[in-house]
Amino acid sequence: MDTVQRFEGLEEEVRESFGEDIVSLRREIHREPELGFDTKKTAEKVLSALDGLPLEIQTGVAENGIVATLKGGGDGPTVALRADMDALPIHEETGLSFASETDGKMHACGHDGHTSMLVGAARALCQDHLRERLNGTVKFVFQPAEEGGGGGRVMVEEGVADGVGSIFALHLWPGLEFGKAATKAGPIMAAADAFEMEIKGKGGHGAMPHMTADAVVIAAQVVTALQTVVAREVNPVEPAVLTIGEIEAGTAFNIIPETARLGGTVRTVDADLRKRMPERIEELARGVARGMRGDVELNYRFSYPVTRNDAGAAKLALNVAGELFGEDRAVEVEYPSMGGEDFAFFLEELPGAYVWLGVGDVSGLHTPRFAFDEEILPQGAALLAALALESLSG
């Protein structure tokens, strides 16, 4: 049997049998967003949607994560499919009938969609006619704390990757044509690191700057100088970003403050460059600050590593998407996104691929108006199911 026949009708089957349930689960989760590791109610919704299926369920993984294991018809390897479950501290402005009922919390990164698609894939694969085609085991991994917190890292520490042969995850992707799946071999998301810098000066009267070391002016110079790290020190064909997103100083218009605080993020794809960044940031900022009779203190946090797809797994994903949706809907990504993703922690342990699923020209991820056409959900569930079927087809 060739692969074209193998996936024929799968998307239609998932849509007809589970489409409505996938959408209603997504709406339930959307209504009640939870942050970080605190995804207890979301996990309960997932558990009740998986109730009665022939799955071995492990709860309390990385606090409120779930690993559901399906034994297939053969003794082959284990493939894991992972969805993230957490929301963001954003106040929703979509006006949807099932909008967040909690002020200041919203599923603005589509993780409600990811979770419900994975439940849909689990339900599909639990059907006898698909289950018996799995020569091996499927682990459905529901992960908390993707948006900061590194739930993926905690899951790996708790052994979720142990004994797993490969792993896949989807992310709904604005800007990619609706219904297209896209991925690439190698880096697909950047390492996302963070820093805080305290600028130390000497405070005083706003009218007597000569008696002070003005932390505001030093901070301004430091922010400008730091832009030269990427512009002048990084190989121009190597992707890197340095963004200062926070600057804080002062209490009144006529007081020169003693200190200022900067907060920023650094995105890189190359591992050596990633390691070099803190030292260069500190040296340059310190040089500028000392030249102005101040100093700096840098607190640098290495956070999510590069999300690096295995070449074989990326190829498998593109082939599966091509066979399932049609060749023109499986797209090879040209450049990595400089966004970060804690699926990276799984991909440091296992071969696998992170795949973007297009939701078209909608408000961006992490915006208060992010919304997507739910027609994508059964399609994504079918893709996840097909990734498992193909990985365990041997």
Binding site residues, Zn ion, CB under 5 A = 109
What is the rounded CA–CA span in Å between residue 388 and residue 139? 9
CA-closest candidate to residue 66, choices 145, 156, 162, 143 = 143
Alpha carbon distance 281, 335 (integer Å): 25
Nearer Cβ to Zn ion (114/274)? 114
Please list the alpha-helical segments (H only) found in 296-355: 311-325, 344-349
Q: In the complex, what is the shortest distance from the CB of residue 151 to Zn ion, in angstroms, rounded to a whole number? A: 12
Give φ, ψ of 11 to 5 degrees. -65, -45
Token pair of 55 as six digits: 């799955």
Residue 180's nearest CA partner among 329, 339, 393, 48 is: 329
The residues with which 140 forms a beta bridge, in sequence order, are 68, 81
| Closest CB to Zn ion among residues 80, 109 | 109
Q: Minimum CB separation from Zn ion for residue 43, in Å?
A: 18
Distance of alpha carbon 382 from the chain centroid: 21
- Eight-class DSSP state of 278: H
- Nearer residue to Zn ion within complex by CB, 241 or 247: 241
By C-beta, is 78 or 307 nearer to Zn ion? 307
By beta-carbon proximity to Zn ion, the closer residue of 115 and 391 is: 115
Of 109 and 273, the one with the shorter C-beta distance to Zn ion is 109
* Residue at token pair 């880096």: 187
**Nearest C-alpha neighbor of 383 from the set 315, 332, 321, 323:** 321
Q: Name the minimum Å distance from CB 183 to Zn ion.
A: 15
**Closer CB to Zn ion, residue 170 or residue 215?**
170
**Structure tokens of 110?**
């589509």
- How many angstroms separate the first and last alpha carbons of the chain? 12
Closest approach, Cβ 90 to Zn ion, in A, equals 10
Q: Taking CB positions, which residue lies at the least distance from Zn ion? A: 109
Measured from the CB of residue 84, what is the shortest distance to Zn ion in angstroms?
A: 6
CB of 111 to Zn ion, least distance (A): 6
CB 172 → Zn ion: shortest distance, Å? 8
Query: Burial letters for 301-311: b for 16+ Cβ neighbours within 10 Å, e otherwise?
Result: eebbbbbbbbe
Least distance between Zn ion and beta carbon 170 (Å): 10
CA dihedral 319, 324, 327, 331 (to 10 degrees): -60
Place of tokens 């297009």: 358
Quickly count: other Cβ atoms within 10 Å of residue 71's Cβ: 15
Pick the closer one to Zn ion by CB: 109 or 269: 109
Structure tokens at 126: 């639990």
Q: Provide φ and ψ at 190, rounded to 5°.
A: -85, 165
Least distance from Zn ion to the Cβ atom of residue 184, Å: 18
Q: Considering the complex, what minimum distance in angstroms separates the CB of residue 300 from Zn ion?
A: 22
User: What gap in Å lies between CA 71 and CA 76, rounded to an integer?
Assistant: 10
Q: Which is nearer to Zn ion, 178 or 370 (CB)?
A: 370
Q: Which is nearer to Zn ion, 145 or 234 (CB)?
A: 145
Q: Which amino acid is at 385?
A: A
